[in-house]
């Protein structure tokens, strides 16, 4: 595995904090993993513009896997919320799938899905879920990626015995 930082995509300002890591894994296309955060007070339109431009840049690399872990402070469980509608529209436009569909931030009075796992290749994952340890206001997200089986070429050999061997 070869790791490389993607400095030009790492941002920290009043609207968003993000860091990206590129990985070259054996038997898979390059993978770009991003960890993103938008504060509750951050401008949603500005944030979605930054995210859209960034993801278009990554998609322009062609064939790369995208894995995005984030706390966007957008509750994807609220289907009629204007922030969530914009967010879901962006995901659909960029052909990204959300892997988490249950509450990740649980308090005595509310529950929300504000922590997300996004990917452009949902078929790569076989186990995704949320578990709450009760120690923090955010639950933990876990996932496991399927391991690609290497292609093995087979050959057929002619069996020769002393009976079939002639000199």
All structural domains of the chain: 2-145 (3.60.10.10)
Q: Check residue 158 and give its pLDDT.
A: 72
Average pLDDT over residues 85-96: 91
DSSP state of 138: B
pLDDT of 151 > 70? The answer is no
pLDDT of 144 > 60? The answer is yes
Q: Check residue 137 and give its pLDDT.
A: 79
Question: Environment class of residue 32 by beta-carbon count within 10 Å: exposed (0-12), middle (13-18) or buried (19+)?
Answer: buried
DSSP state of 135: S
Where are any strands of DSSP class E within the chain?
2-5, 11-12, 17-24, 31-37, 65-71, 97-98, 105-106, 111-112, 115-119, 125-131, 140-145
Q: Check residue 147 and give its pLDDT.
A: 72
Instruction: Name the average pLDDT for the chain.
Output: 81
Average pLDDT over residues 5-16: 64
pLDDT of 77 > 90? The answer is yes
pLDDT of 80 > 80? The answer is yes
Average pLDDT over residues 72-79: 91
pLDDT band at 128 (very low <50, low <70, confident <90, very high): confident
Report CA-CA distances (Å) from 132 to 21, 37, 71, 129.
Answer: 27, 20, 16, 10
Compute φ and ψ for 86, nearest 5 degrees. Answer: -65, -45
How far apart are the C-alpha atoms of 46 and 34, rounded to whole Å?
18
């Amino acid at each position: 595995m070869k790791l490389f930082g993607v400095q030009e995509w790492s941002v920290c300002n009043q609207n968003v904090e993000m860091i990206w890591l590129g990985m070259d894994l054996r038997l898979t296309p390059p993978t770009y993993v991003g960890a993103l955060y938008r504060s509750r007070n951050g401008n949603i339109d500005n944030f979605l513009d930054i995210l859209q431009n960034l993801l278009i840049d990554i998609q322009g690399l062609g064939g790369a896997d995208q894995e995005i872990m984030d706390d966007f402070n957008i509750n994807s469980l609220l289907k009629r919320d204007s922030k969530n509608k914009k967010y879901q529209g962006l995901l659909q436009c960029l052909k990204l799938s959300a892997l988490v569909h249950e509450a990740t931030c649980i308090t005595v009075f509310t529950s929300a899905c504000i922590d997300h796992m996004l990917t452009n290749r949902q078929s790569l994952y076989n186990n995704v879920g949320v578990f709450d340890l009760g120690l923090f206001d955010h639950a933990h997200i876990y996932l496991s990626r399927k391991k690609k089986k290497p292609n093995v070429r087979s050959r057929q050999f002619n069996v020769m015995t002393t009976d079939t061997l002639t000199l």
